Amino acid sequence: MKKLSARRRHPLAALVVLLLALAATGGLYAAFAPADKAQADVAAQSLAIDEGKKLFAVGCSSCHGLNGQGSSDGPSLVGVGSASVDFQVGTGRMPAQQPGAQVPRKQNIYTQAEIDQLAAFVSSLGPGPVTPTKEQYTSTNPEDISKGGELFRTNCAQCHNFAGQGGALTKGKYAPSLEGVDAKHIYEAMQTGPQNMPSFPDTTMPEEQKKQIVAFVRHTTSDEPNPGGLTLGSLGPVTEGLFGWIFGLGTLIAVAIWVAAHTTKAKKS
C-alpha cells in the first residue's frame, strides 16, 4: 500500500486510473448487456402471451375453457403446442362454426400476428410441437419429390388418395383434399395430427421426410402440367370409366345414328 500511495502523484497515475475505469465499464457492459436483451425477449414473449390470452378469451374460451383446460365442448389445449394452433386457426378450422363429425376448412379471420399471439398463449400452457420454420418445410432438392412420393404412398395415400385429392372416412368424416394447402399447414398437420388424422411425430417420421412429403404434395396438387390432359378429378377408374361409357360410347352411338339417318338418295341431296 505504501508503494501504491507513494506513486499517487506519479505523472502517469491519472492515465492508469483512466484505463482501469474504462476496462471496468467495458466488463460491466459485457456482463449486463445480454441480460438486458434476454429480459427484453422475455418481456416481448410475455406481452404476446398476454395478448394471446385476451384473444383466446374472446374466440376460444367458450369451448376450451378460460385457461385452455378444456370442457365438454372442446378438448384441453395443454400440450398441443404452437404448431397445432397455427394449423387450426391458420386454416380457419378454429374457431369452429358448429360441432359436427368434422370441422371443415374455412376463411381464416385472424392475422398471422394474432395467430402467433394465440399460439404463444397456448404453448405457455404446456410444451408441444412448435410451429416449423420456413427451412423446415421448403425443399430445394428436386429429388425430394420422388422420395416424398414413396413416403406419401406408404403413409398418406390410403386416406388422401394417390394424388392428394382426399377421400371419405366413416360417419361423415373425411380426409380433405390437399390441393392448395400451404406447405406449412401440411407440415403442421403431420406434426400434430388434427381431428381424426393420426400424427407423424419426428420420432417416427423425421423432419427431413416430412419436408419430402410436403415437396411431393405441393408438386402433385399444384398447377403442374398433367401429361395426359383431363385429370377427371384424379379419382382413378371411377370417373375415367364413367367418362368412357358416357362420352366415348355416347359419341359412337351418336355417329352411328347420324350415319343411319342420313341416306344418300338422289332426291334428298
Assess 261 for contact with other proteins (CB under 8 A).
yes
In whole angstroms, give the CA distance from residue 51 to residue 119.
11
For other proteins, give the closer residue by CB, 107 or 204: 204
What is the chain's alpha carbon radius of gyration, rounded to the nearest angstrom?
32
**Residue 90 identity (one-letter amino acid):** G
Work out which of 5, 107, 133, 204 binds other proteins, going by CB under 8 A: 204
Assess 203 for contact with other proteins (CB under 8 A).
yes
Residue 160 counted as an annotated binding residue:
yes
Please say whether the beta carbons of 80 and 128 come within 8 A: yes
Assess 140 for contact with other proteins (CB under 8 A).
no
CA distance readout (Å), 113 to 89, 90, 144: 12, 11, 31
DSSP line for 20-55: HHHHHHHHHHHHHHHHHHHHHHHHHHHHHHHHHHHH
- Least distance (Å) between residue 240 CB and other proteins: 15
Work out which of 96, 201, 219, 232 binds other proteins, going by CB under 8 A: 201
> 205-224: which residues touch other proteins (CB under 8 A)?
205-206, 209, 223-224
In whole angstroms, give the CA distance from residue 105 to residue 31.
50
In whole angstroms, give the CA distance from residue 102 to residue 100.
5
Q: x/- contact string, 180-199, with other proteins (CB under 8 A)?
A: -------------x-xxxxx
Work out which of 200, 215, 217, 221 binds other proteins, going by CB under 8 A: 200
- Least distance (Å) between residue 159 CB and other proteins: 5
| # of chain residues touching other proteins (CB under 8 A) | 39
CA distance readout (Å), 229 to 164, 165, 217, 232, 234: 18, 17, 19, 9, 11
Assess 11 for contact with other proteins (CB under 8 A).
no
Assess 175 for contact with other proteins (CB under 8 A).
yes
Q: Which parts of this chain interact with other proteins (CB under 8 A)? A: 151, 154-155, 158-159, 167, 169-170, 173, 175, 193, 195-201, 203-206, 209, 223-230, 259, 261, 263-267, 269
Enumerate the known binding-site residues: 60, 63-64, 156, 159-160
